[in-house]
Every structure is written in C-alpha cells, then in structure tokens.
Amino acid sequence: MHSFLRLLSLSLVLVVGAATPHEAAAQLSAPPSADTPSAPPAVTGVVRDSAGLVMPGIVVRVVGDDGRAVAETVSSDSGEFRVDLPRAGRYQVHVALEGFEPVVRAVDLSTGDLGPLEITMAPRLSEMVVVAARRMDEALQAAPMTGAVVEGELLNDAGAFNVNRLRELVPTVQFFSTNPRNSSVSIRGLGLPFGLTNDGIDSAVGLYVDGVFYARSAAATLDLVDVDRLEVLRGPQGAGFGRNTTAGAISVVSKRPGFTREVEGEVSAGSLGFLQMKSSVNVPLGQRVATRVSFSGTSRDGLLYNTTSRSALNEMNNLGGRAQLLFAASDRFALVVAADHTRQRPQGFAQVVAGVAPTLRPANRQYAQIAADLAYAPPSFNAFDRVTDADTAHQSHQDLGGLSLTLERRVGASTLTSITAWRYWNWDPSNDRDFLGLPITTISANPSKQRQFTQEVRYVAPISRTMIFSGGVFAFAQTIDSSGRQEQGAAAARFLLAPTSAALTPGLLDGYGQVADIQSESTAGALFGQLEWQLGRRVTLIPGVRVNHDRKALDYDSQVYGGLQTVDPALIALQRSVLAPQVYSADVADTNVTGQLTARVRLHEAAHVYGTASTAVKPVGLNMNGVPADALGRPILDAATVKPERVRHVEGGIKTQPIAGTTLNLAVFNTDVHDFQANVVNAGVGVLRGYLANADLVRVRGVELDGTASVGRHLSLFGAAAWTDARYARFVDAPAPLEQTGGPQAIDISGQRLPGVPEWALSFGAEARRPVTLLSRSGELFAGGDTSYRSTFSSSATPSQYLNVPGYGLANVRAGVRWGNGWALSVWCRNVANRDYFELLSAQPGNSGLFVGMPGEPRTYGVTLRMALRPESRP
C-alpha cells in the first residue's frame, strides 16, 4: 500500500503542479463579460467535453437566417469564445469537431446579448474512438491503423456481456478458456500460448479498462459493467500504451459520471435459467462533483450434467460492481476515483469425452485396454450429450477488483493525464484433471493471490501547427503468491504407467501427491512516445519509439507426499516419473528499444492509404509450473527462463467512405515472431507436466476487410472478414501430436498452423427500424441479428488430426420496441439453428489417446427490458 501512496503522490505533483501561476490566474478569471451598450452584439460561451473539461481550439461558427456564415472564431485555451456580429437578430451557432456530434444552438439577439452559452461536445460513438494507441481524440476511420469500436448499446443488444462473446462481432479476436485462469485472448492469432496457463509470461494482447492495465487474462471472463464502448486495436501498440502489447489491445471505456441525474436498468431472463440484471445510477453532488454507481449480476444453469454428483456443471454465477467519483476542480482539471469488485462462484469448468485416437504405444497402454482392465466406460462418447461422470468437485471461484485514480489536466492546448491503480486477483479452483469418473487425479487445485500496481503518466501536446507529440512513462509491479496441490488415486498407476509388475504394486500411487509453493515478483518500466508530423495537406508521418525494461524473479519449491512408503529405488523412480520434488530459483531482466514508422496519405476527404513498419518485444518469461530435469533428477535451470519474443511487423491498408453513411476498409499485414513462447510437454520427467519453451520463428499474415452502411435512418449494416495464415515458420523440436504418442519425443512442425487460429473468420450484422407511436410517445420497432463463422482450426500446440475443431457458424436474432429516451423491450435468440460446436478440444493427461472437448452453448432464448429515468425519458 505504501507503493500505491508514493505513486499517487507523484501523480498529484506531476499533474496538479503542471499549472503555471499565469495559467492558474487565467482559470480564475471570469468569462468574457456581456458587451457594453455601445459594443456590437456578440455571442459568448465556453466549450467543454462530456467530462466537463474545457476544449481549446474548437471552431465556433455563427450562421444567419439565410444559411450563410456570418462570423467565426476559435475557442481559447480556457475553452471560451466570443463572436462579434454586425447587427442584432436571430442566428444559429454551429460547433463541430471531427469525431464529435455537431452542436447547433439557435440564439435571438433581437433584444440584446444573451448570457454565455454552455456548449458540450459528445463523442460520435459510431465513428469516434479514443484511439488508445495514439492517446488523442480522433475518428477511428481517420486513424492510420486497423481496429474496431463496438458501442455499449450494440454490446447490450447482441448479448456480448464479456470478451468471449466479443469474438462474434470482431472476427480477428479469438477467446479460449477451460476456466478463468486458463483463458487466452488473441488478436490475429497471437496472445498467450495455447494450453495450460503459465503465470510467468505476459499476453501479447493488452486488456485495459479505463486506461488501467489488467495483467491477468482471467479478467476477460468477467461481465462488462456499464460500458460506453469497447475498442479493439490490432497490431503492436508499444509506442502508445503503457504496457507493451505486441499483438494488439482491447480497451474497455466505462461510462463516466456526469452532471445529469439519471438511473438506468436492464433485466434479462431466458432459457437455461438465465437471469441478468444491470443497473447504473448517476448523481450530481453539486456543480463540481458527480458520482456513478453500477451493478451487474448474471446467473445461468450449467451446460453439462454430472451423473456422479447429479448436478449441473459449467454454470454462470457472477456479481460485479463499480463506483466512480468525478471531481471537476476547475475548468481545466478533473479527477476520477474508481473502485470495482467482481465475484464469480460457478461450478465449473469441465470437459467431456469427445473421442479416442490410436497412438504408437503398445496396446496395453492405450485407452481401450486400460478402460477394460479397470472395467470402466464413460457415460457417453458423444460430447453433445453433455454428460460427464467426473468424480472430483469443480469450482472456479475468483475475486477481482481494485482502485484507480485518474487525473486530467489541460495545460494550454496540451493534456497531461495520470492513471494510478492497484488491483488484486484471488483464484480458488478445483478441477478433475482426468475428466473421468475414475480415481486417477483426485485433487487438482492451484490457488493464487496476485497483486499489481501500475502508474502511467501521458502527455499530448501540439509542438507546432504541423506537429503533435504524444508520449509518457509507465511503471508496473506485480507479486504472485501461488500454491499448488495435485494428488493421484487408486487408478493412477494403471492409467499413467506401463503395466509392469512393479507399476501394479498395490497402493503405489494411491494418495501420492505434490504440493508447491510458488513466489514471483515482476517489475517493469517504460518510456514511449510518437510524433505526428503533417507534411502538407495530404501526407502525415508518425515515427514512434519505446524503451522498455522488465525484471522477473521466481522461487519454486514443490515436494511430494503419500503413496506407497517404500525404500525400493525402482518403485520410487516410478513415483517420481509422475510427480517429482523440485526446487529452483530464477532472476532475469531484459531491456529493449523498439520503434515504429507510420505514413498516411490522404487521397481525398473520404479516403486515405497508410503503411506501418514496427518492432516490438513481448517480455521475458519464467517457467512457474516446473522445469525438465537432467539424468540425475536435478532441474535444468536454463529452462527456468523463456526468452522474450521479438516481433517484426509490417502492415498497409486503405480506408474509404465510398458514399455518405458508409465505410469500407482493407488491411494486409505480416508479422514475424522470433523466439515464439510456446507450450511443450516434458515427456522425460512426469507425464503430467508441461512447460514453456521458444519456437524459433512464427509467421502470421493476413487480409482483413470491414465495412458499415446506414441506409437512411431505418437500416444499418456491418460486416467484417479476415483471412489469417498463422504458421510455425521454424519449430524443429516441437512435442509430438496425440496420435504419435509413444513415438519420437520431438518432431519438426515447421510450416504447420498455429493453434486457435481459423484461416477464415467472418461476421455480419444488420438492424432495421421503423418509427411508431406507443402510448402517445414516439418510438421505433426494430429487428436485427448478427452471424459469425469460424473455419476449422487446430486445438493443439502441435497440430493433430484428432484435435481439429470443425468450422461452425452461429446466428443470433433480436426484435422489439424502443421508446422514450432509453426504454426498450426485446425478445432474442442465440444460436438460432442450435448448432453443435466445440469451443476447444484437448488430450486427456496420461497420453492414452483419449481426448476431451468443451461443447459450446446451445440455442438459448429470452426477453430483455431496458429502462432509463432521466430528463424527458419516462415511458
């Protein structure tokens, strides 16, 4: 906590202290006074953003009754403006800025001057995204980069209340999860290694909520609470983000407190016992202070049935809340304090038997003979019967939350922002790691407590009329306190060992287990910045640079217990081949400098082309789940650390607006990842252990097309398609696939596809609207839907013909009525065709040839009522 206070103090000094005495005096000065009787008539006022901060440099134009401009000016550093007019009369005041909704005010100066106007500029969410990679307000369509912005309203309408469902709207986003800890978000095929999560490495995709970096991918499983919009930025973002993100970033922007009293609520109920409630309350506490409190709760019955416990598995049980306090101390300084907490208590997450692959092992070590010897049969070999007989309790309990302080200070035309945050994640799981109703692995639990501090200070400033600088500093600290326990049961020896007379010694592995204590500390710091340089009217160059330092330290201590107590070295060796004691430490650091160069050429007002070349580094990693051992059983310390990934990325594209109300964009890219961090299996020591290693080179290339269209006010369309070719360019010592178990320990898979990356991914959506009058109030009927498609993809670190997830398409529909200012009633159906599909497939531990899968959600349907109480919003 002392570290948090020190970071907070530094933020206050940097941000509050940035004001000069002259500026402070200017803030206290009164707005332009009304004209004296002898002065010409004038329109005066101040321009602010939706957070209440003043906006300098905004064009204010006054238009006469004939539609012709009479006069114009630009708002001052304090956001104030004054437009002198030739005569009294009626006028319109037009205020516009790209990416914001235009403001038009009618004024009547026939009887004298008016008081100062208060102009508030609201973002045009369908076009504008605060492009976090560049840290300045601009329309995404005008930015020289690829990305997507999904409005909060569309997220709600589409039922995309977490990142998992985001992939149905943004085809380049993939999400895989066997439980919250073992979750992976990828963009263009890059994220975390496919398989069991190792806390010692970072994701290539950064997840940010209101500018705060979330270090653990488990946050992607949480419900999105009170979201204004969600941004997906593709490609390396190191020159603009605090934490280095080599594949892209997902930025969640919450609704901020405002100075209008309002209450919003939403209730959804549907099949499978689905119930979701959301609410937000915004209350101004005076002219300078406002607060916003939000809540979300989701529950749903399980998707699987456990015949052993006679209960459902893979359910939803989520509660989350967020509170914010805004203090607009002056027209040029704002402070937001935020606190959030999310609690998940589902029974899950299990996988079910999906099939058996023949291996190269002797018949007595393959599943059919093992199951026969144990007189066992699973409840079904059809995964879509959705039944399991797992005999170990499942739970995926987690608590995630934190505190943040955001300070924003306008200094002339510049903006200084500080974000200080402290976060926690508590993970308390229980899993059946053998997925069967046999006592093979009877305990599998790896609870963890993780804490992080982050401090980011950013500065955006015009250097001249043709140059804008944006940059900052970032500091990160994290501690991980994990413990692991795994225990084998009476059937473990037959399932995991060759059936020799020694291996069949009664009680050899029954109760034999391992406990681990894992302590890790990580620190990181970075300087980053970029310069936007306008060369004439059409050409813009954007060079950027990042200096990054990472240090990670680890103490790993695992000990074994139980099982047959013996001094026979042969029996002890058999026990150690399953679980072995191991103690090692590691301390590693890496400093690197990366950069980017982007060029944009404007073809005309509605089209531009761009190109980017960049380098990036994904931080050095640690093996926190154990490492291979040498012939004497000693840990191989060189394997305790994993080299950083070094990325070379090139991209080009064109963005167009062919006709009014439409966009059409095309991007092509190539990304080379040297020393790709991959999951491998250690077949030499312990059949249950995997670890991280580096593949020499991975290459990802692709083509992306996206577009939107609005046909009048009654029809809107969006669509996106992505072709992605993600392959191991060179990986000569990869683990063998499932069907080659019992053969070579390592094989060359150069040229084969990366896991979790469909070659083709598509999404399309539409909504039609028709005005109606409902109970004497205007409203609209609407009907809409979205569909997505994923082609076949590998679900194994080394491609296996048995672990390929077949391609599938999903369609969702909705229809209803909206009225007032925020009221809506709709019915919806997800997976309309009730398509059977797998989220993923994986080999069952033990290498018997058995593989399991996680079936996707079946057809669901329900109703949603959305309510809003704000000025002029009652039904």
Q: Is the pLDDT of residue 382 over 90?
A: yes
Residue with the two structure tokens 């409190």: 293
The pLDDT confidence band at residue 260, using thresholds 50, 70 and 90, is: confident
Instruction: Note the pTM of the prediction, 2 decimals.
Output: 0.84
Q: By the 8 A CB rule, do 246 and 211 touch?
A: no
**Average confidence (pLDDT) over 285-291:** 92
**Which range has the worst mean pLDDT, 503-507, 631-635, 674-678, 850-854?**
631-635
pLDDT at residue 134 tops 50: no
The 10s digit of each residue's pLDDT in 298-309 is 999 999 999 999
- The arithmetic mean of pLDDT across residues 498-509, rounded, is 92
Give the tens place of pLDDT for each residue, 88-100.
Answer: 888 889 997 755 6
Whether 1 shows a pLDDT value over 60: the answer reads no
Per-residue pLDDT, averaged over 713-724, amounts to 93
Do 54 and 48 contact (CB within 8 A), yes or no? Answer: yes
Provide the pLDDT for residue 103.
87
8 A C-beta contact, residue 852 and residue 838: no
Q: Which residues lie below 8 Å from residue 20, measured CB to CB, with a gap of 6+?
A: none
Provide the mean pLDDT of the chain. Answer: 87
The closest alpha carbon to 450, from 471, 476, 478, 477, belongs to 478
Query: Strand order of the sheet with strand 59-63?
Result: 69-74, 59-63, 90-95, 103-108
CB 444, CB 467: distance < 8 Å: no
Q: What is the pLDDT of residues 741-793, one digit of tens each?
A: 999 988 999 999 999 999 999 999 999 999 998 777 789 999 999 999 999 99
Note the pLDDT of residue 14.
43
Condensed to tens digits (0 to 9), the pLDDT of residues 101-113 reads 778 888 888 777 6
* Chain segment 418-450, per-residue pLDDT in tens: 999 999 999 999 999 999 999 999 999 999 999
Mean pLDDT of all residues in 494-507: 92
CA-wise closest residue to 313 among 118, 179, 491: 179
Query: Is residue 230 scored above 70 in pLDDT?
Result: yes
CB count, 10 Å around CB of 583? 12
pLDDT digits (tens, 9 = 90+) for 148-200: 888 888 888 888 788 878 888 888 888 888 888 888 889 999 988 776 678 88
**Residue 690 — very low, low, confident or very high, per pLDDT cuts 50/70/90?**
low
Does 638 score more than 60 pLDDT? yes
Average pLDDT over residues 533-561: 94
pLDDT per residue as tens digits for the range 727-736: 999 999 888 9
In order of 472, 682, 847, the CA distances from 740 in angstroms are 50, 15, 10
Q: Which stretches of 435-512 are assigned E, i.e. beta strand?
A: 441-445, 448-464, 467-488
Cis peptide before 495 (omega within 30 of 0): no
Q: What is the pLDDT of residue 29?
A: 30
State the average pLDDT over residues 547-562. 96
Q: What is the pLDDT of residue 138?
A: 55
Distance CA 312, CA 182 (A): 21
Angle, alpha carbons 118-405-26 (nearest 5°): 40
For 724-788, the DSSP string reads EEEEEEE-TTEEPPGGGTTS-SEE--TTPBPTT--SEEEEEEEEEEEEEEETTEEEEEEEEEEEE
Q: What is the predicted pLDDT for the residue at 52? A: 62
Which whole number is the average pLDDT over 234-249?
Answer: 86
Res 113: pLDDT: 64
- Cα separation, 794 vs 707, in Å, equals 29
**Residue 157: what pLDDT?**
83
pLDDT beyond 60 at 406: yes
- Of 441-445, 813-817, 821-825, 857-861, the one with minimum mean pLDDT is 821-825
Q: Which of 438, 434, 442 is nearest to 352 (CA)?
A: 434
- List, for residues 763-772, the tens digit of each pLDDT value: 999 999 999 9
pLDDT value at residue 556? 96
Share of the chain above pLDDT 70, in %: 91
d(CA 4, CA 479): 14
State in Å, rounded, how far the first CA of the chain is from the last one.
47
Residue 808 pLDDT > 70: yes
Whether residue 3 has pLDDT greater than 60: no
Q: What is the DSSP letter of 217?
A: G
Instruction: With cut-offs at 50, 70 and 90, classify the pLDDT of residue 720.
Output: very high
Has residue 121 got a pLDDT over 70?
yes
Residue 669 CB-density burial (10 A; 0-12 exposed, 13-18 middle, 19+ buried): buried
Average pLDDT over residues 528-552: 93
Angstrom distance (rounded) from CA 681 to CA 689: 7
CA-CA distances (angstroms) from residue 159 to 22, 164, 827? 51, 11, 11
Q: Is the pLDDT of residue 13 over 50?
A: no
Percent of the chain predicted with pLDDT > 90: 61
Q: Is the confidence at residue 687, as pLDDT, over 50?
A: no
